[in-house]
Amino acid sequence: MNHRFDAIVVGAGPAGSAAAYMLARKGANVLCLERGEYPGAKNVSGGILYGEPFKDMADNEKGEWPRERRIVKHVLAMDDGNNFTSFTYQRMGGEAPLAFSVLRAGFDRWLSARARQAGARILTEAPVDEVIWKNGRAVGVKVRRPEGDIFAPCVILADGANSLLGKKAGLRADYKAGQMSLAVKEVIKIPKETIDTRFGLNVEEGAAYSIIGEVTNGLEGGAFLYTNRESLSLGLVCHMDALIREKVNIRTLLDRFKQIPWISALIQGGVFKEYSAHLIPTLGFRERPRPFTHGILAAGDAAGFTLNTGFQVRGMDFALASGTAAAETVLDAHQKGDFSSKTMAAYENRLKDGYIRKDLKTFRRMEAAMKNRALYAVYPKVIGEAFADLYLGAGKPKKRMGRLLWDHLRSYRGLRDLVKDLFFLRRFL
């Protein structure tokens, strides 16, 4: 194998494959290194992908790519163990929002195949142990294979949330427990006709649920459930520091979540198919890794490009967009013949001009707001019990909803806590 390339990409997830595709499409000699047996082997489940950025990569003029269902129903819910309160958004006229459920094993393989068809070299079972440096600039990588050292004037790191190469390159410090969340997920096979009936969907339509409260035993985090073509994906995301503080095994919480009556009814008769666990960066706006240095760019999770807005969890679309921006930066650097940090800084400018940095800045206070435990342990009870008082007790005098909410709030929260909660609530709105 040729040991010299125009660029090396580490990781064949969405960020890495998007970068490899763009580089190869523009004529660059690019190598993408994947530690798994095949692209997607380390990502057996999936998520919700917002947007449709694949028309130029698709297999035909119709823009086909391996999505599961178009999400037309978004449900935000609170479960306090006794009451289930939810808000549903479903567009009834016109085109539905661009949001799709995706299974990563198939999706990653397809995206990597598109990069290969464009001319990229994909090498699997190729863990990268070190970046090779010369005169303070990255010039290649050390691969745990017979190929050994491989050289290129620029390396794109797309090796996941806990990017050790990024740490060694000085892009980030050690992560703390409060800067990471742990996600666990199961995929349960269910016939598509059953899914359509249980969730009130038409063919190819999908639903996505985000739930807080008793589903995580009141811990900082939440549960999710969404529909695939012939399966359901469901799981939990919890802040690592909360799990450590309460000495809770998240797998125990997941088993408990599946036993909740309304959840067990939705998955009834299903067959367990897959299980996965994944670290998610939950960093403050200024805590994210530096995305560039001399001869190196970081994309996707390796750059901390994830976002929880309180209503959406974004990651895959950020990975694809940042991988593309990294490739464009490398192409410009080749034209200039300059891979210094000054030239690599153009990557950050591209991110600022696009939606990634703008969205991260807009929601920069959300991570702190979502660590207020009352949001998960108190407010689902307050709202659920207020609605219970509204609908139960026929023949008894009723209070206005505002009064009901206030009475239940005061039963759980003192005035000082309420003022503090209102301060956090401002960050959501």
Does one domain contain both 124 and 222? no
Per-residue HEC secondary structure of the chain comes to CCCECCEEEECCCHHHHHHHHHHHHCCCCEEEECCCCCCCCCCCCEEEEECCCCCCCCCCCCCCCCCCCEEEEEEEEEECCCCEEEEEEECCCCCCCCEEEEEHHHHHHHHHHHHHHHCCEEECCCCEEEEEEECCEEEEEEECCCCCEEECCCEEECCCCCCHHHHHCCCCCCCCHHHEEEEEEEEEECCHHHHHHHHCCCCCEEEEEEEEEHHHCCCCEEEEEEECCCEEEEEEEEEHHHHHHHCCCHHHHHHHHHCCHHHHHHHCCCEEEEEEEEEEECCCCCCCCCCEECCEEECHHHHCCCEECCCCEECHHHHHHHHHHHHHHHHHHHHHCCCCHHHHCHHHHHHHHCHHHHHHHHCCCHHHHCCCCHHHHCHHHHHHHHHHHHHCCCCCCCCCHHHHHHHHHHHHCCHHHHHHHHHHHCCCC
Does one domain contain both 12 and 155? yes
pLDDT at 233: 94
| Domain edge (last residue) among 227, 260, 281 | 281
pTM: 0.90
Q: What's the Rg (C-alpha) of the chain?
A: 23
Does one domain contain both 141 and 219? no
pLDDT at 292: 93
Is 231 part of a structural domain of the chain? Answer: yes
> CB–CB of 237/280 below 8 Å?
yes
Is 87 part of a structural domain of the chain? Answer: no
Is 84 part of a structural domain of the chain? Answer: no
Instruction: Tell me the C-alpha distance between 46 and 276, whole Å.
Output: 9
Which residues neighbour 152 within 8 Å (Cβ) at sequence distance 6 or greater? 4, 5, 6, 7, 8, 31, 139, 140
pLDDT at 390: 86
Residue 187 sits in which domain range? 177-281
Does one domain contain both 148 and 297? yes
Does one domain contain both 143 and 252? no
Q: Which two tokens stand for residue 335?
A: 């034209």
The domain that holds 139 is classified in CATH as: 3.50.50.60
Closest CA to 150 of 17, 32, 14: 32
Using DSSP bridges, classify how beta strands 296-298 and 292-293 pair: parallel, antiparallel or unpaired. Answer: antiparallel
pLDDT at 140: 95
Residues of the chain with pLDDT below 50 are none
Is 1 part of a structural domain of the chain? Answer: no
pLDDT at 82: 92
Does one domain contain both 394 and 335? no
| Domain edge (last residue) among 251, 281, 311 | 281
Does one domain contain both 246 and 200? yes
Residue position matching structure tokens 């010039």: 139
Is 94 part of a structural domain of the chain? Answer: no
| Domain edge (last residue) among 225, 247, 281 | 281
Buried/exposed 377-402: b ≥16 CB within 10 Å, e otherwise: bbbbbbbbbbbbbeeeeeeeeeeeee
Is 28 part of a structural domain of the chain? Answer: yes
Does one domain contain both 297 and 221? no
Does one domain contain both 310 and 397? no
Number of domains the chain is built from: 3
> CB–CB of 297/347 below 8 Å?
yes
Does one domain contain both 138 and 246? no
pLDDT at 422: 74
Is 297 part of a structural domain of the chain? Answer: yes
Does one domain contain both 193 and 132? no
Is 357 part of a structural domain of the chain? Answer: yes
pLDDT at 44: 56
Does one domain contain both 125 and 245? no
